[in-house]
Structure formats: structure tokens, C-alpha cells
Amino acid sequence: MPLNRWKALLELNRGKNLYFDIYAMGERGGWQRFSAIANAIARENIDSYLVYRRLKPVHTLYTEMGTYQRNVSTYGESPVLLSGPDSRRCVNCHTFVNRNPDMMCLHIRGPGNVAMILAKGATATKINTRTRFNASPASYTSWHPSGRLAAFAAIDVIQFHHSVGTSRDVLDLASDVCLYIVDSNRVTSTAGISDPDRLETFPTWSPDGEYLYFCSAKRLWTEDAGVPANYRSVRYDLMRIRYDMATGTWGKPETVLSAKDTGLSINEPRISADGRFLLFCMSEYGCFPVFQ
């Protein structure tokens, strides 16, 4: 169906159903009618753009990648930021404030070039989120609904390979969750989300901004060099901690779901916009379920 006719059909029937009647001719020439398929046409406009990173499937190379935007109503694609073959920079995590394109952050990695880019309106600012406390750059950023601060994980991550079986694997040797305060251009944290005896990662805010959810596991080693022999024993719990936006004070960490109860490692939580549902991944161990 031509695109202009398809759009006109949807526009004229907002909030109604679009029906498909399906018939199939049998071997003897007889027709069979199947139950009609009803597709609900939304009253609201679709969010026009989807933003994503695109890179080659070779996981050991990070050149020639980019962050792109696609207009989902026309399928037209355009680049947001590209990393060419000579840049030696990795363009990765990008996050919007309440899915609004007016404010976002994007991370860049590479030799001597580690930063978070804060884009607000037509202005882009290079932010160094590293301090003496958190020497690792920001990852897995989650904006507070107010847009005034963002939580991120500072992770000392390594990639390694097995000689037998599935090759690729990823491990966090040390990780903490921190806050970036936009107005004061300041990085801060608290003991509940940056315990040196634990590994904290994957922060995400509740829609009302009252709780910060994250994943936390006991750190089973003391050195930050090489792959520990007991890395398969690391399993993350799903946690949350209350945050008072007005005073900048924290509550005490609460266990939402324990790895002891599931027998698996819990990662990558996301909460629905209405606050009713929480989605997460589970894997045998560790913090990188995509390789498992």
C-alpha cells in the first residue's frame, strides 16, 4: 500500500479498529475463511524517532560505529554522532531525559578521550565524570525524571575469552553507582550505592523519582588484575534506595529480589512509565547477560 494512502487510512480512523479478513484456497478449489484480525489504531501520535547505536558484529573492534536516529514513520535514517576508522573512539551509552530529545547524554571512550557529552537544546558540553573516588568513566546512565541529575555506574570492566565453549565473556572487577548533578557540575555518591565490598551497577530511577533501583553483588576478590578464579560465583541482587530530591539525602538500601531466591544473577532493570511493572534480565552469573 502506498505510504500516503496508509497514513490517510490511519488518520481517518484514529481510535478505531483496522480489520483483516483472510481467505485461503484449498487444493480442491474451495475457500476457507479464517477469523478476522483486529488491529487497534492509536489515537495518539507515535514517538517519531528511535535512537540506537550501530556497530560491526566483531566485538573486538570499536571503530566505524555510530549513534543514529530513525524516523519510524518514514524509515529514514540519519547519524547523530559517528566514529570513523581513524578516530579510535567508541561511541556508546546514550540516554534521554523522559524520552525528550531536548536533553540527552552520550558517552565517548578511547585513548585519552573519555567523556560524557551533555546535549541540552542546541548546546553540547564535554563532561568529565571521573574523580579520585571513581576513576572509571560513566556507563549505564539513567536520568532522574526532573532532568536535574543522572545516576551512572563507574565500572572497571574487562573482556576475556574462554578456550573451550562459548568464547566471549565480560566481568566487572569493581563498580559503584554515582550521581552527576547538572546545575553544580558535580559528581557525588553515598555508601549505600558505592560500597567498596560490593559491585553496584545498572542504576534506573522509578518514574516518580523517589527510588533509585540498581543491581548489587558481593565483591569476591581484592585485586583488580586478571580474571578471578571465582568469577562465576558472582550473582547480583536487585536493590533500591530512596532519594530525597529536595534535600539530597538518601535512605537505606532495600533488597527487592535476592539472587539467593532466584539462583541467578539479576541485571538491567527497567520500570514501566506508570510504575506498575519492573523488567529485568537473569543469567547464570555476572553482569553481562547478552553473552550468555
Checking if the pLDDT of 123 tops 70, the result is yes
**DSSP output for 53-78:** EE--S-TT--SSEEEEEEETTTTEEE
Q: Which residue has the cell 481510535?
A: 15
Q: How confident is the model at residue 270 (pLDDT cuts 50, 70, 90)?
A: very high
Q: What is the largest CA-CA distance in the chain?
A: 79
Of 60 and 127, the structure prediction assigns the larger pLDDT to: 127
Checking if the pLDDT of 44 tops 90, the result is yes
Mean pLDDT to the nearest integer, 9-20: 96
Q: Residue 59's pLDDT is what?
A: 66
Q: Residue 52's pLDDT is what?
A: 94
Tally of CB atoms within 10 A around 116: 23
Q: How confident is the model at residue 126 (pLDDT cuts 50, 70, 90)?
A: very high
CA distances from 150 to 104, 189, 250 (A): 10, 11, 15
The CATH classification number of 47-291 equals 2.120.10.30
Mean pLDDT to the nearest integer, 229-235: 94
Q: Which residue has the cell 565473556?
A: 169
Q: Where are the domains of the chain?
A: 3-39, 47-291
Q: Output the pTM of the full model.
A: 0.87
In tens, the pLDDT along 63-88 reads 678 899 999 988 899 999 888 777 77
In tens, the pLDDT along 159-187 reads 888 888 878 899 999 999 999 999 999 99
Mean pLDDT to the nearest integer, 231-256: 96
Q: Residue 189's pLDDT is what?
A: 95
Mean pLDDT to the nearest integer, 7-22: 96
Cell numbers placing 108: 565517548
Q: Which helix (H) or strand (E) holds 173?
A: strand 168-181
- The fraction of the chain above a pLDDT of 90, given in percent, is 71
Q: How far apart are CA 45 and CA 274, in angstroms?
A: 19
Checking if the pLDDT of 135 tops 70, the result is yes
Residues 6+ positions from 130 with CB-CB distance below 8 Å? 114, 136, 137, 154, 187
Query: Contact at 8 Å (CB) between 255 and 190?
Result: no
